[in-house]
Each structure stands twice: as structure tokens, then as C-alpha cells.
């Protein structure tokens, strides 16, 4: 099939490459000429494991190309996927739909008056319920609108796109459902469930799913606070809870909390949108979920201060991790970077290391110091903070690292270091929600 992807940021670039890899002819369109130039050369403009090879293969095959011309995209196909961003509105947290509306309006202005087949505009952006209906009003008879939410996780987006857990298609006409079934036929033939529903339900699925996952993360972090006071072990608690199939272990992972461009934005936008509907009490708990998540950053800073004697003034702090999660160079709403900056503002000299996100972190937090390797990051450190769960950090030799720090003390905010090995090498290791005698860290960032 011939498809266009309008907007080639994170979601759009992954979707375009994967659709081409499935055998479709794909044209990606974006207003950013530098991004288009990079993609045309087969270079992803961001770090995502596996995307580089997939993108280059698709471009080299001739099935994928890119343009800055919406007019060209409008002529190229009759199925258009809209993948532009929906950032939060300042002050309210509600989704800013101006980019979605602009993309649809621009596309509509260039759609040919006569075509051999009906035109379908397919939204993949995360939007408030009712957006598809409003966009359909803007398009009139020029095209039908469907909603096909994405469920990509940074760090595993290629896997999520090529082997998704489900495909949700919100459609208003039988022909639109048939069109999307044809698009995704290579995946459904492999067993991926195809859930056909109305556009409003499809829009709600993404918001409800992310809100539920965020709730699980905040719940177990609330339990970690209780464990700190009672002496209980939050990791054992999480394992015991997760063994119940009604609960499950997924996202029941204590730590520094969630961040990035997805969960925090989505739960705030969802709460704001539902409040506008007059149903704020139904999602009031999401405000508390958000507050618990934010509190993990403050708690981590206070725990770090306690471990260096109550004051950061004159202290050297080594920070392992700047990305909001491993497998990504994304520092948007990164808990790790927020903690590092808060510690610096309280008087510490902070050095940060991240294997992929250092350049992005430096651009938004220029007052922090960045080091090219872990040894230089931790040189003469009074405390090391483990804030992003990169596998490289789990594989560190604590005995070797003990030789370069001033004080062998580490705060494992991600619960993934082998506590017994670090303590055997002479380190004081603290992990929130765990008794000091606990012997091994487990888990990982969601």
C-alpha cells in the first residue's frame, strides 16, 4: 500500500520505518529540513536501539523516502498517518492540539479534489477524547478520520512496532476498518490482535493504559516510603504482590519514578481533559499519582543529603545516568536529571555520566558538569547516585570504583545494583525502601 506519515519525530520516524519494513510504500513528511535530511540519509535524529538499521534498510530498499512538502504527501497516497506531538499547554497540563490541527488543515488544503479511492486520515498522536470528531468536522467531506493510538516505549520502540501487543483502530465506517486491517495485515497474520472500535474509545485506550501503568509505579513507590519507616523490604513486597495474576509484576517496580515525554504528560492531560468534562472526581486520584511520582525526586535528594552529613556544600557528587530511562537519549522530564540539578543547586559539585544522553542533558542543564566515563564522573566523589538503570552501571566493578572515590557510598535509586557485591567491596549502599541488611538489588526502571 501507499501510505504517508505526517510528522517524523519519535513516533512518526519509527512508524514510517516499520511500515516500509512491512512492505508498504511510505512517504514521511515534516517541516524540519534538517530532520528530513538525516532521515533521508538513513540516520535517526535520536537514539533508539535497532532503529538505525531498520531505517537504512527501508530507505535503501526504495520503499521509504521523505519530504518537506505536504502537497507532495497529499498526492502520494490516500491513507495519511498523523504523528505530530501534543505537548502540554503551559499552566494547565492539557494537551496542546495546535500541531495536530495544523497538520490536518495543511493536508486538507492539498488533497486532490478527485481520487480513485476514499481518503483516510489516521491519527496516532495521544489526544483528548473527542479529537477525532472535531478533526472530522474540519475535514468535512474531504476525508474520513480514524484513530490508531501508538503504544511505543522508548528503548524498545522497534520491537513494539514490529511485534505489537495489540492494534487499536477507532473507525466510523466499515471501509476505514477494512483499510486499516489491510495496512496491518502483515502483523495480524502473525497473531497480533486487532481491536476495532469507535474513535472515542480508541482515543481513551492510550490515556487509560498510561494512567493505569503510572498508578502502579506510584503505588509501589508509596509502599517504599512505608517500608523505609517500618523496616520492610519493598522488593520482596513487590515480588509477592506481582505473583498474584490479578496484579502482575509489570511496572510494579520501586525506584526514582517515571519520567519522559509520555506518562507524566499523558496523565496530566487526561486529568485536565476529564475535569473539563465535569468529571474531575473520577480522575482525582491521578493528581495524587503525579504528586507521589514527583515526591520520589525530592526524597532522593533528601536521602542523598543525609548520606553526606546533611549538607551538599563543598561535596562532590557523581551521578550515573541522565536519560529518563535506559535505551534512550531522551532527557525530557528526566527524574535523574532533575535530581542532579537539585543537588547542584544545594551547593554540590556534580559530575554526570550517561552513555547516550550526555549531549541532550548538557543542552538543557548547562550548569552541570559532564564526564566522558564513569571513572572521571566518580573521581574523588563523596557520594555516587545511581539514577538511570543502564546495564553498563550494573556491570561496574565496585572494587575498582572504590579506588577513585573519596568516600565509597552509593545511593541506588533504581534498585538494580548487586548490594552484596558493593558492600563486600567496602561500599555503603542505600536503596530506598530496603533494609540495610538486604543483600541484593533487583528490578529496573519501567
**Which residues participate in catalysis according to the annotation?**
262
Residue with cell 518537506: 68
- Cα within 13 Å of Cα(407), Cβ side: 15
Cα gap 84→155, rounded to integer Å: 20
- The contacts of residue 429 (CB under 8 Å, 6+ apart) are 409, 410, 411, 412, 417, 419, 422, 423
Query: DSSP of 241-310, one letter per residue?
Result: HHTSTTT-STT---SS---SSSHHHHHHHHHHHHHHTT-GGGGHHHHHHHHHHHHHHHHHHHHHHHHTTS
- CB count within 10 Å of CB 375 equals 16
- The contacts of residue 19 (CB under 8 Å, 6+ apart) are 3, 5, 26, 81, 183
Tell me the CA distances in angstroms from 189 to 82, 148, 156, 183, 361, one per residue in order: 25, 18, 22, 12, 42
Helix (H/G/I), strand (E/B), else coil: 182: helix
Contacts of range 98-105, beta carbons closer than 8 Å, 24 or more positions apart: 99/7, 100/125, 100/127, 100/131, 100/135, 101/135, 101/138, 103/6, 103/7, 103/70, 104/135, 104/138, 104/139, 105/138
Q: Are 318 and 387 in contact, with CB atoms under 8 Å apart?
A: no
Closest to 120 measured CA to CA, from 9, 6, 28: 6
H helices of 88-233, in order, are 98-110, 131-139, 157-162, 174-183, 185-188, 199-230
Cα gap 138→125, rounded to integer Å: 17
Q: Are 68 and 33 in contact, with CB atoms under 8 Å apart?
A: yes
The 8-class DSSP code of residue 29 comes to: E
Amino acid at each position: 500500500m501507499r501510505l504517508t506519515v505526517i510528522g517524523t519525530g519519535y513516533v512518526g520516524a519509527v512508524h514510517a520505518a516499520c511500515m516500509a519494513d512491512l512492505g508498504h510504500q511510505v512517504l514521511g513528511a515534516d517541516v524540519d529540513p534538517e530532520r528530513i535530511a538525516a532521515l533521508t540519509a538513513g540516520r535517526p535524529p535520536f537514539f533508539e536501539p535497532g532503529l538505525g538499521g531498520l531505517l537504512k534498510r527501508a530507505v535503501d530498499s526504495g520503499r521509504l523516502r521523505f519530504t518537506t512538502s505536504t502537497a507532495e504527501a497529499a498526492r502520494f497516497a490516500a491513507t495519511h498517518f498523523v504523528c505530530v506531538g501534543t505537548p502540554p499547554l503551559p499552566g494547565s497540563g492539557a494537551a496542546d492540539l495546535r500541531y495536530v490541527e495544523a497538520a490536518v488543515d495543511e493536508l486538507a488544503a492539498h488533497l486532490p479534489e478527485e481520487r480513485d479511492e476514499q481518503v483516510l486520515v489516521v491519527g496516532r498522536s495521544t489526544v483528548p477524547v473527542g479529537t477525532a470528531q472535531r478533526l472530522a468536522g474540519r475535514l468535512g467531506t474531504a476525508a474520513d478520520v480514524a484513530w490508531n493510538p501508538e503504544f511505543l516505549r522508548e528503548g524498545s520502540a522497534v520491537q513494539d512496532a514490529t511485534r505489537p501487543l495489540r492494534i487499536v483502530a477507532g473507525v466510523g465506517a466499515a471501509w476505514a476498518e477494512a483499510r486499516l486491517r489491510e495496512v496491518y495485515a502483515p502483523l495480524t497474520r502473525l497473531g497480533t490482535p486487532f481491536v476495532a472500535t469507535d474513535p472515542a474509545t480508541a482515543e481513551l485506550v492510550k490515556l487509560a493504559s498510561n494512567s493505569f501503568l503510572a498508578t502502579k509505579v506510584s503505588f509501589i513507590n508509596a509502599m517504599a516510603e512505608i517500608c523505609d519507616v517500618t523496616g520492610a523490604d519493598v522488593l520482596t513486597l513487590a515480588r509477592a504482590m506481582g505473583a498474584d495474576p490479578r496484579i502482575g509484576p509489570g511496572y510494579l517496580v520501586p525506584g526514582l519514578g517515571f519520567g519522559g515525554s509520555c506518562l507524566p504528560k499523558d496523565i496530566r492531560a487526561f486529568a485536565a481533559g476529564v475535569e473539563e468534562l465535569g468529571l474531575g472526581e473520577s480522575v482525582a486520584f491521578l493528581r495524587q499519582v503525579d504528586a507521589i511520582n514527583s515526591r520520589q525526586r525530592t526524597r532522593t535528594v533528601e536521602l542523598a543529603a543525609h548520606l553526606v552529613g546533611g549538607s551538599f556544600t563543598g561535596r562532590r557528587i557523581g551521578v550515573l545516568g541522565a536519560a529518563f530511562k535506559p535505551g534512550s537519549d531522551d532527557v525530557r522530564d528526566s527524574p535523574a536529571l532533575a535530581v542532579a540539578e537539585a543537588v547542584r543547586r544545594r551547593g554540590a559539585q556534580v559530575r554526570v555520566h550517561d552513555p547516550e544522553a550526555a549531549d541532550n542533558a548538557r543542552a538543557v542543564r548547562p550548569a552541570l558538569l559532564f564526564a566522558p566515563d564513569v571513572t572521571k564522573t566518580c573521581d574523588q566523589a563523596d557520594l555516587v547516585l545511581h539514577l538511570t538503570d543502564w546495564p553498563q552501571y550494573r556491570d561496574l566493578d565496585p572494587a575498582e570504583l572504590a579506588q577513585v572515590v573519596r568516600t565509597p557510598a552509593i545511593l541506588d535509586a533504581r534498585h538494580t545494583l548487586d548490594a552484596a557485591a558493593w558492600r563486600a567491596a567496602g561500599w555503603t549502599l542505600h536503596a530506598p525502601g530496603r533494609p540495610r541488611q538486604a543483600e541484593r538489588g533487583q528490578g529496573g526502571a519501567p
